Amino acid sequence: MKFQHIILTILLLISASVFSQTKKKEKVYYDLKGKKITKEKYHEYMRTGNYKLVPYGWQLKKLTTEEKAARNPKNKIGKKAPELFFKDMNGTLVDSNSPEFKDKILVLNFWFTRCPPCIKEIPDLNSLYEKHKDNKDVVFMALTFDNKEKVNTFLEKHQIDYPIMAVSEQSTISKFGGRSYPTNIIVNKKGNISYWGGSSNSIFTNLDNAIRLALLEK
């Protein structure tokens, strides 16, 4: 019996060792010279709109003039919005060409659960949704790359009244070209981008005005 206890103890120690070695490592970020930087510093760089990540790691790289122009929100206004085609957190298919969304004004909020500016604007977005929720021509969507479990845990402490779409495919979000969070986009009835903005203390007013203008468009 004592021998069996020894064997069991050894097996448990081996399992614990393997687990600790395979435990997911935290991301390490690097600046242009390959020097390690904090996650906060990395986000500070990204918010300037002058950098991107190299494909093979979490290292910053300066954007070219062409890349900066492509990401500039001012250059996106009036352009055709990418089509949305994915399954939401409840497994329901979302297709921007379906009758539910086609010829409607889409109010898109790109966010994630660990984004402080995203959390800060939730009350304003709730108020905006409350004002327009009965208008059949206006559809709200909060798109996040977080999975259903993370979203549900987040909702235990934070109230979000507008529809949330947890999108597992990062490409669905990145096809819009946004690189900062939160990003709020309005797509008019013609399927063109009519508003593009980030975090703002006047987000309610900005989006409300943009929705009213989109409703007036023929």
* Predicted local confidence at residue 213, as pLDDT: 95
The domain ranges of the chain are 24-71, 73-216
* Predicted local confidence at residue 147, as pLDDT: 85
**Strand stretches in the chain, DSSP E:** 29-30, 36-37, 51-53, 60-62, 85-87, 93-95, 105-110, 138-144, 164-166, 183-187, 193-197
* Predicted local confidence at residue 19, as pLDDT: 44
* Nearest residue to 145 (alpha-carbon basis) of 126, 117, 165: 165
Q: What is the dihedral of CA 121, 122, 128, 134, to 10 degrees?
A: 160
Mean pLDDT of the residues in the chain = 80
**Residue 10 pairs with which residues in a beta bridge?**
none
> pTM score > 0.75 for this model?
no
State pLDDT tens for residues 71-124: 677 778 899 998 888 877 777 888 888 998 999 999 999 998 999 999 999 999
Q: List alpha helices for 62-114, DSSP H.
A: 65-71
State pLDDT tens for residues 1-55: 555 555 555 545 555 454 444 444 567 777 777 788 887 777 677 767 677 666 5
Q: Residue 185 and residue 211: Cα distance in Å, rounded? A: 10
Fold of 73-216: Glutaredoxin (3.40.30)
* Predicted local confidence at residue 178, as pLDDT: 65
Residue with the larger pLDDT of the pair 75 and 150: 150
* Predicted local confidence at residue 18, as pLDDT: 45
Q: Residue 129 and residue 91: Cα distance in Å, rounded? A: 23
What average pLDDT does range 137-151 have in this prediction?
91
